Amino acid sequence: MHMADALVSTAVAGTMYVCSTGVAAWSVKKVKEENDPKKIPLMGVMGAFVFATQMLNFTIPGTGSSGHLCGGMMLSALLGPWAGFLTMIGVLLVQCLLFADGGLLALGCNIWNMAFYGCFVGALLIWRPIMKNGASRLKIAAASVIGCILTLQMGAFSVCLETLASGVTELPFGVFVGVMQPIHLAIGLVEGLITAAVLIFINEARPEYLWGVGESNGAEGRLSRRGTIGVLAVLAAFFGGVVSLFASAFPDGLEWSMEKVAGTAELERAGGAYASAAGIQDVTSLLPDYAFKGSESVFGTTFSGIVGGVVVVGVCVGVSLLFRFFKNKKVAEQTDNS
């Protein structure tokens, strides 16, 4: 489910960075409030553990195939949602920096899709309410499976929204969602079963390691008013930013209405301001109305662009070769001297 940089526009990436940064800042504050110095090394080692576990393959009974762990739900069941979220950020960043899995620009989206839902929705809305009166095998299994399926479904849906809002695919929204959701239903089920097996073992061996078990659902157990407002604000930013972008990417309804009312999809414009704006647009747009400028020839005036590009690449090659030449010369001189 890692999104690549190519799949997100800068506007969507920026919006998701803002949302993820907001939640990260809140989580840092909560972890500091806990004032447990042992937690930071634990978060680091647990992050490395999740990373290493993701390399293990688990046989899926009756299918002949295998799956692996994602870790968001397991981390929050062991560390709590805030520390779990920060650890998942670390895991995603290291995945990006060591294996180029996901991108730097898409990191905000990946944090939201995989860490936010797994840690906050999974831990606060599913794990804690189920565990409030103590843990049992059945409860842990139910919380793990429901949590993993639900959070992966939400993550996959967000991937569809973000990709479509970025305008990089012509795939209809319904088809995209129809492909993404069932795949992640199966993945969520497998991840849920693996998470359940591990957490049941932990509950039997070291129950004190599990977070949120046996906590009363009193005032302390619920989200505070400020916390609720914070979550709502982040959700509002997400839907206001990403979903509105998605909506504005399809103005066909307006064009359809214009066609019906005015008989044309585009209004005639006159006046100096319109002429100036049209002039600027004429200069800057390479493909006005889906056609190359000067489309009487195959590449029109962009021929000069191609020539310019070849020149730029040539200069770049020249500079790089010069750089290597001088470096090799310097190394040769140093070798001679020694």
As measured in angstroms, the least distance from the Cβ of 168 to another protein is 6
Residue range at the interface with another protein (CB under 8 A); choices 101-109, 226-234, 243-251, 263-271 = 101-109
Instruction: Name the residue nearer to another protein (CB basis): 18 or 48.
Output: 48
Contacts (Cβ under 8 Å, ≥6 apart) of 83: 27, 31, 34, 39, 42, 43, 75
* Residue 305 found at the interface with another protein (CB under 8 A): yes
Structure letter (DSSP) for residue 123: I
Stretch that binds another protein, among 118-126, 249-257, 269-277, 309-317 (CB under 8 A): 309-317
Binding mask 121-150 for another protein (x = CB under 8 A): ------------------------------
Site for another protein in 171-200 (CB under 8 A): 171-172, 175, 179, 193-194, 197-198, 200
Q: Does 243 bind another protein (CB under 8 A)?
A: no
The dihedral of CA 61, 67, 72, 75: what is its sign?
positive
Q: Do residues 142 and 130 touch, judged by C-beta distance below 8 A?
A: yes
Instruction: Select the residue interacting with another protein from 223, 254, 316, 332 (CB under 8 A).
Output: 316
Q: Does 201 engage in binding with another protein (CB under 8 A)? A: yes
- Cα 117 from Cα 124, distance rounded (Å): 10
Q: 64 in the Ramachandran plot: left (φ > 0), alpha (ψ -120 to 50) or beta? A: left
Element containing residue 83 per DSSP (H, E): helix 81-99
Nearer to another protein, 232 or 286 (CB): 286
Rounded Cα gap, residues 114 and 34, in angstroms: 24
Q: Which of 202, 213, 234, 245 binds another protein (CB under 8 A)?
A: 202
Number of residues that bind another protein (CB under 8 A): 108
Give CA angle at 101 (240, 76), nearest 5°.
65
Q: Quick count: other Cβ atoms within 10 Å of Cβ 95? A: 18
Written as six digits, the tokens of 195 are 């998470």
Question: Exposed, middle or buried by CB within 10 Å (0-12, 13-18, 19+), for 122?
Answer: buried
Q: Which two tokens stand for residue 180?
A: 């993404």
Q: Which of 97, 129, 319, 287 is nearest to 222 (CA)?
A: 129
| Binders in 44-73 for another protein, by CB under 8 A | 44-49, 51-53, 55-61, 64-66, 69
CB 152 within 8 A of CB 184: yes
Residue 131 structure tokens? 């565990």
Nearer to another protein, 223 or 322 (CB): 322
Q: Which is nearer to another protein, 61 or 253 (CB)?
A: 61
Region binding another protein by CB under 8 A among candidate stretches 96-104, 124-132, 215-223, 231-239? 96-104
Query: In the complex with another protein, which residue's Cβ is closer, 176 or 238?
Result: 176
Member of 125, 215, 230, 302 binding another protein (CB under 8 A):
302
Compare residues 185 and 236 and give the one whose CB is closer to another protein: 185
**What residues between 20 and 39 interact with another protein by CB under 8 A?**
24-25, 28, 31-32, 37-38
d(CA 35, CA 24): 17
Residues 204 to 233: which contact another protein by CB under 8 A? 205-206, 209
Contacts of 141 (CB under 8 A, 6+ apart): 196, 200
User: Smaller CB distance to another protein: residue 44 or 182?
Assistant: 44
The least distance separating another protein from the CB of residue 124, rounded to whole angstroms, comes to 20
19 binding another protein? (CB under 8 A): no
Residue 271 CB, nearest approach to another protein (Å): 26
- Give whichever of 66 and 276 is closer to another protein, judged by the CB atom: 66
- Token digits of residue 97: 């920096």
